[in-house]
Amino acid sequence: MATLLVGPKQVKIGCHKALLGYFSNFFYGALYGGFKEAVTQEISMPDYTPDQIGVFVTWAYSGRIETTLCAEELWILGDALQITDFTNEAMHLLFSIYGHRDGEWLTASAADYVWANTRSESTLRKFLLSLMIHDGPLCNRALGRVKIQSRVRRIGMV
């Protein structure tokens, strides 16, 4: 077992070392490389929250993402910890949120969060740029709703 010391209060979260190393290049390097973590079996993670790491650990054991955290945050977590399967799962979640006709609209705060926490070549940034172009505030779907609402207001239905 390895112990993850999470957040400023160093909340202890336990997980099997082999599972961490299997899914994450970051954890593999720390726990199986020439670092002190390989000896102590403890990894300090002050920049993350227990909720974030808890979601990953739960997913590692169950294959399910169960959380109230936003999908963008999950993708960024997976990218930072080099967990390709987790980022793929987060991307599936993003597609389920934004990828259909009646899906949610991308919010400015979500876009700001992504830009503040990713590199310029990030796959998530590329996805959100594409989403903004094809499904942003000036896309046909959005403008269609505005036209319908304007017509309804003109004839006094609202």
Q: Considering the domain boundaries, does residue 151 fall inside one? A: yes
E strand map for 23-153: 42-45
Give the pLDDT mean for 68-85. Answer: 95
Q: Map residue 11 onto helix, strand or coil.
A: strand
Q: Considering the domain boundaries, does residue 144 fall inside one? A: yes
Give the pLDDT mean for 75-101. Answer: 89
Residue 142 pLDDT > 70: no
Q: Is-contact 29 17, C-beta < 8 A?
A: no
Q: Considering the domain boundaries, does residue 47 fall inside one? A: no
Domain count, the chain: 1
Q: Considering the domain boundaries, does residue 46 fall inside one? A: no
Looking at residue 35, what DSSP letter applies? Answer: S
Q: Is-contact 7 48, C-beta < 8 A?
A: yes
Residue 129 lies in domain: 105-158
Q: Considering the domain boundaries, does residue 9 fall inside one? A: no
> How far is it, in rounded angstroms, from Cα 44 to Cα 60?
19
Band the pLDDT of 134: cuts 50, 70, 90: confident
Q: Considering the domain boundaries, does residue 5 fall inside one? A: no
Alpha carbon distances (Å) from 6 to 9, 30, 141: 7, 15, 42
Q: Considering the domain boundaries, does residue 56 fall inside one? A: no
Q: Considering the domain boundaries, does residue 25 fall inside one? A: no
Residue 81 pLDDT > 80: yes
Q: Which of 37, 48, 42 is nearest to 7 (CA)?
A: 48
Provide the token pair at 140: 């046909």
Q: Which of 89, 88, 106 is nearest to 97 (CA)?
A: 106
Residue 123 pLDDT > 80: yes
What is this structure's pTM? Answer: 0.80
Residue 52 pLDDT > 70: yes
pLDDT of residue 137: 59
Q: Is-contact 64 21, C-beta < 8 A?
A: no
